[in-house]
Chain A
Amino acid sequence: MNENEIKDVTEEFEQSLQKDGNEKYVLRLYITGITPKSTQAIHNIRKICEENLKGRYELEVIDIYQQPVLAKDEQIIAAPTLIKKLPLPLRRLIGDMSDKERILVGLDLRSKS
């Protein structure tokens, strides 16, 4: 496999990303009350969404202290957890959303480098 071919594959992938670039994102952020990690996560993810998905995302913040049943239904273990419901595949992002690179990868907005 020469360098050209690799470049082609990468380009193809970038193109496919561009093609799906206007898909609608459905995101759920599960937090556990007002902890520093929760507020940090809310702040961070809002910022990232505004920057990268402006106008085509739906973010819902859910406090699982208030709705503990959801923790079971949504298979929440860690907190905070951001679940990317759409577009598929489903993905869980855990943590206070401070690692921007990883979030972008997790949201399929950037390929893993």
Chain B
Amino acid sequence: MTIRKKNLKSPEELPKCTTGIRGLDEITDGGLPKGRPTLICGSAGCGKTLMAMEFLVRGAAQFNEPGVFMSFEESSDELAQNVASLGFDLNELIASKKMYIDQVRIERSEIEETGEYDLEGLFIRLNYAIDSIGANRVVLDTIESLFGGLANEGVLRAELRRLFRWLKEKGVTAIITGERGEKMLTRHGLEEYVSDCVILLDNRVEGQISTRRLRIVKYRGSSHGTNEYPFLIDEKGISVLPITSIGLQHGVSTERISTGIPRLDTMMGGEGYYRGSSVLISGTAGTGKSSIAANFANAACSRGERCLYFAFEEAPSQITRNMRSIGIDLEPWIEQGLLDIYAVRPSIYGLEMHLVKMYKMVTEFKPEVVIIDPVTNLIAIGSDTEVKSMLARLIDFLKANQITALFTNLSHGGSLEMTEFGISSLMDTWLLLRDIEIGGERNRGLYILKSRGMAHSNQIREFLLTDKGIDLIDVYLGPGGVLTGAARSAQEAQEKASDLMRKEEIERKKRELERKRAALEAQITAMRSEFESAEEEVAKLTQQEEMQEKVLAGDRTEMMRLRRGDDMRTRK
């Protein structure tokens, strides 16, 4: 189920008291009901007291809401020690009047009931505690101990009812813890009195792996997540993982990021993966899945982005050593704090716990890129439905945070185009690495099986791991299928030879043509010179003719002058 968006909250909706416990505020849609009691129940050792204590301590330290812890079991010192392990100084909070601890001791052997009584003493103590520090939060842990100390159940029940009513009137947000009962939620049916909000904690062991889970059984007047949510107790307290609460409404990015392998970028429209997409690399053992993952990590860190690498097979030092052999040095990124390799054996905790852990690490490290290598090892520790829902939640979570996730998937024989539990449908981009066996050798082939929302190459590329890094090479299509490795080299040589021959032929033709041109030109020159000489002759003749005419004209004038012709005078 999805939790309603905060902005839909109507003003008359229940006021909430922020717990400060990671995740709990999300699944309760803002916190516990303010000014009302909440029942936290669960069997021994499931974290009731810690959750209640964290509620108080965070309230006191972070929200300036002082709190009263009324303990029926542990002493003040024990509590202080427990809280110290979460990094809070309880004694200091007590000294600064932000916390008040009252340990209620009930010794059955000391008590003799001699008539009618009520629990006014408890009320007075609580009232005094609340008023002395102006508390907003109260924890009663575990009030059911009263049933062990006092025999008159009728009085107790009436008084408890009065107590919870009184707490409401007092306006404090209270947590009441209760031990899990056989048939009821609590051993003495406290849920009957605390009806506003009931949270059930559980610690189940499945396949020798224990997982803590939390469920909101009821939350009157508020929407809330109804599923069981795994939670984690670690050095920073409780974190609940509200993974199922994430819908598919995440924004998408059109930004593309490099895969770290130029040729692979080219295959995917020249730009690489979409930011915030999920990428699956599947292949059989030794096909280079981790190398592609490492390349991607390397590329991300080179861009100055942060990368979180979950390694479920190799130790960090082994990864860095191995990657150095293909020319990728991850060490500097680790030193700069851009890369964090988190290596853990999958069987160390349950599936949910892994998810919680990953969720937590991602929220803390805030990476742009997450690598899970290999996701198949996680799959081995859970049942089908669990695995699928877990991965869906993980992917949704990463997508919602615009984190690009790369998963490697180890295929075990069978059809390569299948993943265990159908995780491929959750992936946006799926690269398949496969062995191609030709001519007595195995080579690696890579192709893009799918890549949502981008044009991508449909060709197989040969995938080479060299000491300078990953290289993708075109494969040759021969009569027997694709050619890789030595067969490709042979084909390459053959093609080179025929290429050479073709080139020589062209050269020869070119030379011939040149010769022809030379001959033609010589001919043209000869003809031109012939023409020129003819032209010259004509010019000469014309000149002679002119000369003759001149001479002739000169002669005529001379003769006339000699004849003393009178027409000469008139003419002149």
Contacts and interface: CB of A to CB of B under 8 A. Distances in A.
A26 B120 CA distance: 23
B124 A64 contact: yes
A98 B114 contact: yes
Contacts of A97: 114-115
Interface of B: 102, 104-107, 110-122, 124-125, 127-129, 146, 149-150
Nearest to B146: A77
A28 interface: no
Interface of A: 30, 32, 37, 40-41, 44, 64-65, 68-69, 71-72, 75-82, 89-99, 102-103, 105-106
Contacts of A94: 111-114, 117, 150
The 5 closest A-B pairs by CB, nearest first: A95-B115, A106-B112, A76-B121, A68-B128, A98-B115
| Residue from A37, A77, A81, A92 with most neighbouring chain B CB atoms (10 Å) | A77
B147 to A, nearest CB: 12
Nearest to B105: A75
B128 to A, nearest CB: 4
Contact of A77 (B115, B116, B121): B121
A93 B114 contact: yes
A98 B116 contact: yes
A91 B105 CA distance: 13
A97 B113 CA distance: 8
A33 B525 CA distance: 141
B105 A37 contact: no
Contacts of A91: 110-112
A75 B114 CA distance: 18
23 contacts: A32-B118, A32-B121, A41-B115, A64-B120, A69-B128, A72-B102, A75-B106, A78-B117, A78-B120, A81-B121, A82-B114, A92-B112, A93-B111, A94-B111, A94-B112, A95-B117, A96-B116, A97-B114, A97-B115, A98-B115, A99-B113, A102-B112, A102-B113
Nearest to A45: B114
A33 to B, nearest CB: 9
B118 to A, nearest CB: 6
A79 B117 CA distance: 6
Contacts of A41: 115
B334 to A, nearest CB: 54
B110 A37 contact: no
Given A65-B124, A68-B127, A76-B125, A102 B118 contact: no
B119 A102 contact: no
Given A44-B115, A75-B106, 19 more contacts: A64-B120, A68-B124, A68-B127, A71-B124, A72-B102, A72-B128, A72-B129, A77-B104, A77-B121, A77-B125, A77-B149, A78-B121, A79-B121, A82-B114, A92-B111, A94-B117, A96-B114, A102-B112, A105-B112
| Residue from B106, B112, B113, B121 with most neighbouring chain A CB atoms (10 Å) | B121
Contacts of B115: 40-41, 44, 95-99
Contact of A71 (B105, B116, B128): B128
A93 B119 contact: no
| Residue from A72, A81, A91 with most neighbouring chain B CB atoms (10 Å) | A72
A95 B121 contact: no
B128 A79 contact: no
Contacts of B121: 30, 32, 64, 71, 76-79, 81
Contacts of B117: 37, 78-81, 94-96
Given A77-B146, A90-B110, A68 B116 contact: no
A64 B116 CA distance: 18
A97 B128 CA distance: 26
A100 B110 CA distance: 17
Contacts of A65: 124
Contacts of A102: 112-114
B563 to A, nearest CB: 173
A2 B114 CA distance: 34
Contacts of A80: 117
Contacts of B102: 72
A36 to B, nearest CB: 9
| Residue from B111, B120, B125, B129 with most neighbouring chain A CB atoms (10 Å) | B120
A113 B108 CA distance: 19
Contacts of A79: 117-121, 124
Nearest to B106: A77
A99 B114 contact: yes
| Residue from A71, A97, A99 with most neighbouring chain B CB atoms (10 Å) | A71
